[in-house]
Structure 1
Amino acid sequence: MAAAPEVYAFDHPHEAPPRTLKDLLGGKGAGLAEMTSVLKMPVPPGFTIAVPVCRAYRAGGWPEGLSEAIAEHLAKLEATLGRRFGDPADPLLLAVRSGAAFSMPGMMDTVLNLGLNDETVAGLAAASGDEEFAFDSYRRFLMSYANTVLGAELKEPAEAHDAGTSAAAKLEAVKALLAGANVLVPSDPREQLRGAVEAVFKSWDSPRAKAYRARENIDENLGTGVNVQAMVFGNYGDTSGTGVVFTRNPNTGENKAYGDFLPRAQGEDVVAGIARTLDISELGTHLPGTDTVLAQHLAELEKHYRDMCDVEFTIERGNVWILQTRVAKRGAVAAVRAAVQMVDDPVIALTKAEAVARVTPEQREAARAEILAGVSTGGSGGPAIATGLGASPGRVHGKAIFNADDAADAADASDDPIILVREETSPEDVHGMGVSAGILTSHGGLVSHAAVVARGWGIPAVVGAGDLTVTDDAALGPDGTVLFRAGDVITIDGKTGEVWLGQNTDEASEGGGSDTAAAAGEAALAHELPELAILESWAAEL
């Protein structure tokens, strides 16, 4: 008899600390279990379909016993929350998210608001007393399921983004779109759930996931976990919202929260780069008191993990929920600064050996190069044609390319540097992002897809350059004039967020320059990143 598929509630009593079980639970599942069972943090309850189950699915299809295991855990979740999945009066809704052992931001699939249909949406509206919220959630679900699970590749109608259109009208416009495309989203919640789980399994083998793994040297055969979790709603009225925040600045290492949030929204709105997000420093202004609660959770996570953390959160009617945490990806300067600061921090108290082990010699050299590059190019370049958010530091130039496929082709044909220019990037752009010297987007914030992937790969990036209108082959200024076209050389500065026409980088500095320039560089290093010398002295001692 085959062993039962491995499915674990977030509060399952594992023999080892959950945070160490990424190979079993995946990174997201391990974080959810750690926060639930060890830290007792406000995490919406749920369960994880373990990584080996994905491997079994890839080898032979839907594993025997998996449907029964999911049903058993779903029944326990219903009993815990006092609501039933598919109940037309007061439905329990679910989120289904991926979670591999190694972070693969945006590369695999997520489906939110599972369990909605024409009956349950009426129950949600009645139970919440907010019809706009219920219809908004249903519209989001239909589009997500159609594209993510059914592969429809549809774009929401313009009405769905019109602030003056009611949620009911937006929902009807989406239903009409699906009917016109002959796309049928199942109404049975349990059929929806199975479809979403399978979609996550299948997304491990998507072209974008394969391209990301090739860049990161991640084993193709590992597979992903699937996390099934009770929904909490950031789009539930004016006292709700969602965001992503780092416990420290992942570009500079500054000991200050860094990230974005968006009132009355769901998580995909923040990372997709479509909406204009707000800096996390504004959270308390929009949702008073929640900033204090979130700050307490961030401090607790950093203390527990003894490292910089990347945290996804949702606020539902003033209540803060933590949806995910992981040790944060960071730039070279941030890696150096944070490691040294955490030795001096009495709460974290890294040893010198731990600090040195966290920052490779290659990262130390990259941090040095980043500071020296800022010295050599500082003040040059003339007036910028646009300014956005510096999402990943470094100043680079290259030919503007407006399509990920074209970027990949251009990289194959020539060694000339490329700047990928997009309205916003999506996971489907990852093959073009990986061959680019820099990334520029007109939309998106500090935790958008473009920002997160570029930062993780050390690619300079400017996001949210709102003065630019990006078309298929050109970037336009506010008055509609063409600023540059495909093939034109531009320069971006991922620290300041500035964009220039032409090449505004100092290549001479790469060869070391004069003794005066070298002295200026060393002085800048001592002033801007004294932690580098400290870390290097510790490395020499060890």
Structure 2
Amino acid sequence: MSEMPMTQLIDHEPVIYPFDHPHEVPARHLKNLLGGKGAGLAEMTTALGMAVPPGFTIPLTVSNAYRAHGWPAALDARLDEQMDRLGTRMGRRFGDARDPLLVAVRSGAPVSMPGMLDTVLNLGLNDETVHGLVAASGDPVFAWDSYRRFTQMFATTVLGVPGEALPECADPTDVEALRAQVDAVRAVVRRVTGEDIPAAPADQLRRAIVAVFESWDSARARAYRAKEGIDERMGTAVNVQAMVFGNRGERSGTGVVFTRNPSTGEAAPFGDYLPRAQGEDVVAGTAHTLPIDRLRDIAPVAYENLLVALRRLEVHYRDMCDVEFTIEDGRLWLLQTRVGKRGATAAVRIAAELVDDPAVRLEPQVAIERVPAELRDKARQEVVAHARRLTPRDDLLTVGLGASPGRASGRMVLNSEDAADADDDVILVRPTTSPEDVAGMAASVGILTTTGGLVSHAAVVARGWHLPAVVGAKEIAIDGAHVRVGSRTLHAGAVITIDGSTGEVWEGAHADDEGGADAEELVRAHLPELERLDSWARAAGR
């Protein structure tokens, strides 16, 4: 079924949709109303009955009305109704100083724009409700860590305070240090903006929603849409969801996982998990995450439940899915699902294997629509480059994590501005990337980061754009205009080569080793699924 048409106008009374709203068509077909995230949350809630924290979606119609005419007059009343309903369902009240309801406010455009739009977590905390959270949870460290996270995120996301202006993160196990950091963040906010973070949860909610609406028109979002060819008029929905807490003790954590490997297509879960953390910690690329299979030892019941959920989602969507989850005190919660971005090689393998999967039985016609000729050609190039690996030489600098397949050589640049200004092949080298780097990433032929895991911002964006990427190259240190690797020092502008399959980083430009088998032999040996897709395409005249 095709997507519902996008509506650019709004009735006089804005409509808000709880995740369990009984739509007339399956929620997964309502991305142009609910946005991709909202459609996924509603689908998991209504069609699959999965463990999704309840909440509601402010649809694109409201977002576009705000962008055209400002805040709709009736929206406050609709929000109050939905927050009351959510509080009743959760057994706690928004703003209650004894046992407060806290919410996450997340964006949700109809198409995936990883990290480009805004999010605020732990909303509803203030100097009174934090004590209620202490009392209700019995864990002051968890409560003050949540408050610290909220103040930092609200300051940067909603109030526009530069992240570098905020104090460094306190010891997350020291209550007094966390309390001091909350005070320090608020002092910076007052100095930079002339105001404080609002204490009233209703004011926090309204301003966070506005920030998400307005993030659609941010410079980083515009740059991403220009690269992807996304319609500027589309806008974003907003999802307000009851918080579940991955930072609530050692039996809690958060992760991002794909139902299959998005680089190779291997039919096994692929992703990262971070104990005692919240979702933004994983995708930010600043933390040392754990491979998803480590969850088997940390929380075996949650891990088994996750495997069941991943299989159900893949069969339901008939495609590889990208899933965000949180484990709170051993219990699994699903926070998002969408069809996942993948490299060209993975796209070929996944499409062919889903044709053979007895629970999916993807039609060959659909498979070749998902992997058109230009993507099949890209996969062929990736396979040949990977098979013709460079022989070991003294100019191998280091080995990180291969995050997005392919090999690229280019002049090393250390900031996004230089990458965006370049008129030659450049490789962007950063400690990590953020949405603010998107223009530089779009202008680069490859990405190299010194921190982060396989579902970090750099990895996800690079795979979606089929850019070679290596992440987590921790032996590399960026020092001003230099890059140091052990005893070696390279200056900005030096040429390097990265291999996004093996994670290898080389000094100098390196072409493929042309020896050995020819290209077609390599493809047949390493990606036989490509020949099947080519044959289906020929039969269909494509």
The TM tier, using the shorter chain, reads over 0.9
Per the alignment, in what secondary structure is the counterpart of residue 452 of structure 1? helix
Partner of 1:187: 199
- Separation in structure 1 between the aligned mates of residue 352 and residue 337 of structure 2, nearest angstrom: 22
Contact 2:260/2:270 (<8 A) preserved: yes
Deviations 1:193-243 (A, max 9, x none): 000000000000000000000001111111000000000000000000000
- Separation in structure 1 between the aligned mates of residue 11 and residue 380 of structure 2, nearest angstrom: 55
Per the alignment, in what secondary structure is the counterpart of residue 333 of structure 2? strand
Q: Which amino acid aligns with 2:289?
A: T
Per the alignment, in what secondary structure is the counterpart of residue 535 of structure 2? helix
Q: Which amino acid aligns with 2:106?
A: R
Contact 1:375/1:521 (<8 A) preserved: no
**Is residue 113 of structure 2 the alignment partner of residue 104 of structure 1?**
yes
Partner of 1:488: 494
Partner of 2:309: 297
- Separation in structure 2 between the aligned mates of residue 180 and residue 76 of structure 1, nearest angstrom: 36
The offset of 1:386, in angstroms, is: 1.4
Partner of 1:85: 94
User: Pick from 263, 269, 273: which aligns with 1:261?
Assistant: 273
Q: Which amino acid aligns with 2:529?
A: E
The offset of 1:302, in angstroms, is: 0.4
Contact 1:143/1:156 (<8 A) preserved: no
Deviations 1:173-210 (A, max 9, x none): 24224314525111100000000000000000000000
Q: How many residues align?
A: 527
- Separation in structure 2 between the aligned mates of residue 471 and residue 224 of structure 1, nearest angstrom: 38
Partner of 1:469: 477
**Is residue 123 of structure 2 the alignment partner of residue 114 of structure 1?**
yes
Partner of 2:432: 424
- Separation in structure 1 between the aligned mates of residue 90 and residue 214 of structure 2, nearest angstrom: 30
**Structure 1 range deviating more: 382-391 or 52-61:** 382-391
Return closer, same or farther for 1:156/1:128 CA change in 2, 3 Å cut-off: farther
User: Pick from 251, 256, 260: which aligns with 1:248?
Assistant: 260
Partner of 2:5: none
Contact 2:105/2:120 (<8 A) preserved: yes
Contact 1:95/1:112 (<8 A) preserved: yes
Partner of 1:166: 174
Partner of 1:446: 454
List structure 1 runs of 4+ shifted beyond 6 angstroms.
none
Partner of 1:53: 62
Q: Which amino acid aligns with 1:70?
A: L
* TM score, norm. by length of structure 1: 0.94
5 Å-filtered alignment, 1:496-507, equals 496-506=502-512
Contact 2:395/2:507 (<8 A) preserved: no
- Separation in structure 1 between the aligned mates of residue 164 and residue 149 of structure 2, nearest angstrom: 12
The offset of 1:168, in angstroms, is: 2.9
Partner of 1:227: 239
Deviations 1:410-429 (A, max 9, x none): 2xxx2x21000000000000
**Is residue 132 of structure 2 the alignment partner of residue 132 of structure 1?**
no
Q: Percent of aligned positions with the same letter in both sequences?
A: 57
5 Å-filtered alignment, 1:316-465, equals 316-379=328-391, 382=394, 384-410=396-422, 414=423, 416-465=424-473
The offset of 1:328, in angstroms, is: 0.8
* TM score, norm. by length of structure 2: 0.94
Q: Which amino acid aligns with 2:530?
A: L
Partner of 1:26: 35
Q: Point out where structure 1 has 5 or more consecutive residues left out of the alignment.
A: none
Partner of 2:7: none
The offset of 1:50, in angstroms, is: 0.2
The offset of 1:110, in angstroms, is: 0.1
- Separation in structure 2 between the aligned mates of residue 159 and residue 356 of structure 1, nearest angstrom: 49
The offset of 1:162, in angstroms, is: 4.1
- Separation in structure 1 between the aligned mates of residue 53 and residue 279 of structure 2, nearest angstrom: 14
Partner of 1:142: 151
Q: Which amino acid aligns with 1:520?
A: D
The offset of 1:376, in angstroms, is: 3.8
- Separation in structure 2 between the aligned mates of residue 522 and residue 300 of structure 1, nearest angstrom: 36
Q: Point out where structure 2 has 5 or more consecutive residues left out of the alignment.
A: 1-9
